[in-house]
Amino acid sequence: MLATLIALGFASLDVASSFAQVEPSIKLGYAKCAHCTPMSLTPQYAKGVQIDAVGFNTGTDALTALVSKNIDVAQVTYLHYAIALDKGFDVVAISGQVNGGSAMLAGNDLEVTPNDWASLKKVIADFKAAGKPFRVAASRGNAQDIHMRGAFAKQGIDINKDVQFINIPNPSDHLQALRRGEIELICTVEPFATQILQNKAAKLFGLPYDQAAGKLTNIILTRSDVVAAKPKELENTVRAVVKVDEFIAGDKAALVAVISKITGLDKAIAAGAVDNLDPDPKMYRASAVAIAGMMRDLKYINSDVSAAVEKNMDYRFLEAATGKPKSDLGY
């Protein structure tokens, strides 16, 4: 009898194990930033696939996990996409996610008018005439750095000659740098921009979206081996991303709650940040190429990856998830 029960027990375990093995799954990584936290909702919006959503401290950590095959899908930025291609990594873009989130903040004592570049250029000229450096800051190589440099270039401000660039790697340090008077202007990311404004450590100069990269920030990547092995799982994952975007676009309170839960930020800061976030699953091919070009000009990457940026954007999953042709999805 005992032998029979043991045999039946192992048989049950075998059956359960078989079901677990055949259940389709995707391991998805995302960074814990204001833009990125809605990715934590993808498991509850997924159908036909089990999504294991894993939070990483940064997009770079998520990209590293993707290329080392520890996860199947990663939410990163368009900059990470260009960097990965420049390094020869096998990455395939399958969806957008959220755009926006950049803000240029100026010191409270500066005589600049919001969105008035002439006033900013006059102040920069005044500093130069007085023999003082006009110090502008960002976290080098992130989306806000690229947005600011592009906006400056479009206004005829040479960031290498007209101002002094200060690299502050961790955005959580931007507030204190302004308070200590170490910089005159900074381009930072939400929710830190809202945190700085609510603490009255600086004033808003403007949003740096009038340049070739527009307001693009986040993109969803996978690898070619995942595309070959799990095409249906990827389609259902992109469908979940689209549904999450639809949800947070229509319910800002829900987005505030998610940001606050994942980042631990005060809800008042999270509420301010969502006004500068744009849920959008489209992939913008021309702007992605422009970002890669800007990164090469700035020597953030070494090669021209324009062709690879276009070639490695696979719209089929987004087309299936939305029912729209790629011509309507940013192609």
Exposed/middle/buried for residue 292 (C-beta within 10 Å: 0-12, 13-18, 19+): buried
Q: H or E element: which one contains 278?
A: strand 277-280
Tell me the pLDDT tens digit for each residue of 41-85. 999 999 999 999 999 988 889 999 999 999 999 999 999 999 999
Question: Taking residues 250-275, what's their average pLDDT?
Answer: 86
Answer yes or no: is pLDDT of 162 > 50: yes
Please report, rounded to a whole number, the percentage of residues in the chain having pLDDT higher than 90: 71
Question: Taking residues 190-194, what's their average pLDDT?
Answer: 90
Q: Label the pairing between strands 102-106 and 185-189.
A: antiparallel
pLDDT score recorded for residue 4:
46
When pLDDT is cut at 50, 70 and 90, the band that residue 286 belongs to is very high
Answer yes or no: is pLDDT of 5 > 70: no
When pLDDT is cut at 50, 70 and 90, the band that residue 143 belongs to is confident
CA gap 328, 280 in Å, rounded: 12
H helical segments located in 157-230: 174-179, 192-198, 224-229
